Amino acid sequence: MKKKFASVLLCAAMAVSLLTGCGSTGETQKPAESKPAAEASKDNNGGADATGSVYYLNFKPEVTAVWESLAAKYTEETGVPVKVVTAAQGTYEQTLMSEIANAEAPTLFQINGPIGYQNWKDYCADLKDTDLYSWLLDKSLAITGEDGGVYGIPYVVEGYGIIYNDAIMQKYFALDGAKAASMDEINNFETLKAVVEDMQAKKDQLGIEGVFASTSLKTGDDWRWQTHLANIPVYYEYKDKNITDTDALEFKYAENYKNIFDLYINNSCTAPGLLGSKAVDDSMAEFALGKVAMVQNGNWAWGQISGVDGNTVKAEDVKFLPIYTGVKGEESQGLCTGTENFFSINSQASPEDQAASIAFVEWVFSSDTGKAAVTNDLGFIAPFNTFADDEKPSDPLAQEVLRYMSDSSKTSVAWNFTSFPSQQFKDDFGAALLEYAAGSMSWDDVKALVVERWAAEKAAIAQ
Partner 1 sequence: MKKKKLSNAILFCVLCVLVVIFLTPIFFVVLNSFKGKLFISNDPFAFPTKETFAGLSNYINGIEKTNFFASFGWSAFITVFSVLAILLFTSMTAYYLTRVKTKITSVLYYLFVFSMIVPFQMVMFTMSKLANMTHLNNPVGMVILYLGFGAGLSIFMFCGFIKSVPLDIEEAAMIDGCNPLQTFFKVVLPILKPTAITVAILNAMWIWNDYLLPYLVIGLSTPYKTIPVSVQYLVGSYGAKDMGAMMALLVLSIIPIIIFYLTCQKYIIEGVVAGAVKG
Partner 2 sequence: MQKTLKRYFPIFVVPTLIAFSFAFIIPFVMGVYLSFCKFKTITNAQFIGFDNYIKIFADKDFLNSFLFTLKFSVVSIVTINVFAFMLALALTKKIKGTNLFRTVFFMPNLIGGIILGYIWQQMINAVLLRYETTLIANATYGFWGLVILMNWQMIGYMMIIYIAGLQNVPTDLIEAAQIDGATGWQILTRVKIPMVMPSITICLFLTVSNSFKLFDQNLALTAGAPSKKTAMMALDIYNTFYGRTGFEGVGQAKAVLFFIIAAAIALTQLAVTRRKEVEQ
What is d(CA 23, CA 404) in angstroms, rounded to the nearest whole number?
A: 19
95 vs 119, beta carbon nearer partner 1: 95
Of 428, 447, 450, 454, which lies in the binding site for partner 2, with binding defined by CB under 8 A? 428
Pairing of strands 143-144, 82-86: unpaired
Question: Nearest Cα to 360, choosing from 9, 128, 47?
Answer: 47
The DSSP H or E segment spanning 295 is strand 292-298
Per DSSP, 181 falls in state S
* 463: contact with partner 2 by CB under 8 A: yes
| CB of 321 vs partner 2, minimal distance in Å | 28
From partner 2, partner 1, none, which one binds at residue 162 (CB under 5 to 8 Å depending on kind)? none
The sign of the CA dihedral 212, 217, 223, 227 is positive
Kindly give, in sequence order, each residue whose CB lies less than 8 Å from that of residue 311, ignoring residues fewer than 6 positions away: 288, 289, 305
The DSSP H or E segment spanning 444 is helix 443-462
- x-marked contacts with partner 2 along 95-134 as a string, rule CB under 8 A: --xx--x-----------------xx-x------------
- x-marked contacts with partner 2 along 250-289 as a string, rule CB under 8 A: ---------------------x-xxxxx------------
Query: Angle, to 10 degrees, between the axis of helix 189-201 and the axis of helix 254-266?
Result: 20
330 vs 353, beta carbon nearer partner 1: 353
| CB of 427 vs partner 1, minimal distance in Å | 15
140 vs 442, beta carbon nearer partner 2: 442
Ramachandran angles phi, psi of 143, nearest 5°:
-90, 120
17 vs 270, beta carbon nearer partner 2: 270
* 279: contact with partner 1 by CB under 8 A: yes
The DSSP string of 313-370 is --GGGEEEE----S-TTGGGEEEEEE---EEEEBTTS-HHHHHHHHHHHHHHTTSHHH
55 vs 160, beta carbon nearer partner 1: 55
* 4: contact with partner 1 by CB under 8 A: no
Kindly give, in sequence order, each residue whose CB lies less than 8 Å from that of residue 255, ignoring residues fewer than 6 positions away: 326
Residues of the shown chain interacting with partner 1 in the complex, contacts defined by CB under 8 A? 55, 57, 61, 64, 83, 85-89, 91, 95, 98-99, 101-104, 106, 218, 220-221, 277, 279-282, 285, 289, 309-310
Residues of the shown chain interacting with partner 2 in the complex, contacts defined by CB under 8 A? 93-94, 97-98, 101, 119-120, 122, 218-219, 271, 273-277, 422-424, 428, 431-432, 434-435, 437-438, 440, 456, 460-461, 463
